Amino acid sequence: MSHQPVLSTHVMAVRWFHGKITREQAERLLYPPETGLFLVRESTNYPGDYTLCVSCEGKVEHYRIIYSSGKLTIDEEVYFDNLMQLVEHYTNDADGLCTNLMKPKLMEGTVAAQDEFSRSGWALERKDLKLLQVLGKGEFGDVVLGDYKGSKVAVKCIKNDATAQAFVAEALVMTQLQHKNLVQLLGVIVEDKSSLYIVTEFMAKGSLVDYLRSRGRSVLGGECLLKFSLDVSEGMEYLESNNFVHRDLAARNVLVSEDNIAKVSDFGLTKEASAIQDTSKLPVKWTAPEALREKLFSTKSDVWSFGILLWEIYSFGRVPYPRIALKDVVPRVEKGYKMDAPDGCPPVVYDVMKQCWHLDTNQRPSFRKLREQLEHIKAKELFQ
Ligand code: ADP
Ligand code: MG
């Protein structure tokens, strides 16, 4: 179990968001009446939409917030990227509502992310950050190259706040981790209630999968492949020793620094197993069978993914299980099918992959053991 989820359930991106509560519960929360008191909940009638509940002259009004093609709107005239922007707009101007929003009904037992990041020393100042150019698209929003007080940094900007909470959770996880093979968090900016930025070290050579594909066999020697494998195993050994489960380990989520050090990134999925409802969104080819089947995520399911990642490294960024249709992967893997060694992959390295792909989780090695084995292989290669 990771120790992060407990924390993140209390640290909220926004405290007026009450999640899945009913119309009646919302009305109770907005009692006694106070014009301008408001909250936002998930719509019960229209899954995926939200409801803005506002107290107005003794009555509670419920406005449906429609979510359509990535934007939010109440009146289908003004559109917003996220709930925070919507709330800001209707705070400044009633714009057709019974009243403007005046006082958020805060969720009890929570603290605001902004306060928590400031308190713990992770809050950065927006004025010190210049955004320069888009580096890539992330699940939660764009990743942008930035300049923070003269150094290059990578900045993840929030897209919409169906993910705001996950975004905050990712940053919280990162505040607890520090290792040379993990992409380092530099800080967080929570700006005027409507934008969130996660600032990390800039990884000049991009994702490992792109790095492998663009250079290929002719450029990258065995020594280099082994070095990447070892880098990742060290980062994962650190996560293992801190009881963190990554859940999305793959070459696309490993980044390469200017001086060719591979670092694990993307702690976005690091959340409670129960929070993963939609198993169809999991990266099937990287996820251990027990994790797909029973949502049993553990360090041992990360070990499975590490085996796939090794295969990606030694095949120079190929997509795993080539020539097998996605729907056939799981049934075949469950029957014990394992990928062949990539062309030119040393048998000792292939042996490490196969250990990671034991169906029995207890038979899979720990990351400590994996790191030791890879170090062994490296030491032997040096003598050849
Ligand atoms: P998500 O997991 O939310 O989809 P990622 O963190 O994987 O987003 O980022 C998407 C892409 O942005 C990466 O594949 C990479 O190309 C680029 N990127 C992300 N973080 C950095 C960084 N620290 N330095 C350089 N490029 C980055
Ligand atoms: Mg990613």
Mean pLDDT rounded to a whole number for the chain:
88
Q: Can you say which residues are annotated as belonging to the binding site for ATP?
A: 156
CB 261 within 8 A of CB 182: no
CB 195 within 8 A of CB 133: no
Report helix, strand and coil shares of the chain as percent, to nearest 5. Answer: 35, 20, 40
CB 344 within 8 A of CB 325: no
**Cα(174) to centroid of ligand 2, in Å?**
15
Return the percentage of the chain with pLDDT > 90, whole number: 66
Write out pLDDT tens, residues 51-69.
999 999 999 999 999 988 8
How many CA atoms, within 13 angstroms, populate the side-chain half-sphere of residue 66?
Answer: 9
Q: Which of 134, 137, 143 is the best mutation target for the ligand 1 pocket, counting ligand atoms within 8 Å of the beta carbon and taking the most?
A: 143
Write out pLDDT tens, residues 153-211.
999 887 555 566 667 777 887 888 899 999 999 998 877 556 778 899 999 999 999 99
The rounded distance, in Å, linking the Cα atoms of 38 and 46 is 20
Residue range 93-109: average pLDDT?
93
Cis amide prior to 32 (ω within 30 degrees): yes
**Pocket-forming residues, ligand 1, beta carbon under 6 Å:** 135-136, 138-140, 143, 154, 183, 200, 202-203, 206-207, 252-253, 255, 265-266, 268
Write out pLDDT tens, residues 260-313.
999 999 876 554 433 444 566 789 999 999 999 988 899 999 999 999 999 999
What six digits make up the tokens of 367? 């990351």
Q: Is 292 helix (H, G, I), strand (E, B) or coil?
A: helix
The rounded distance, in Å, linking the Cα atoms of 366 and 253 is 20
**Is the predicted pLDDT of residue 228 greater than 50, yes or no?**
yes
CB 154 within 8 A of CB 135: yes
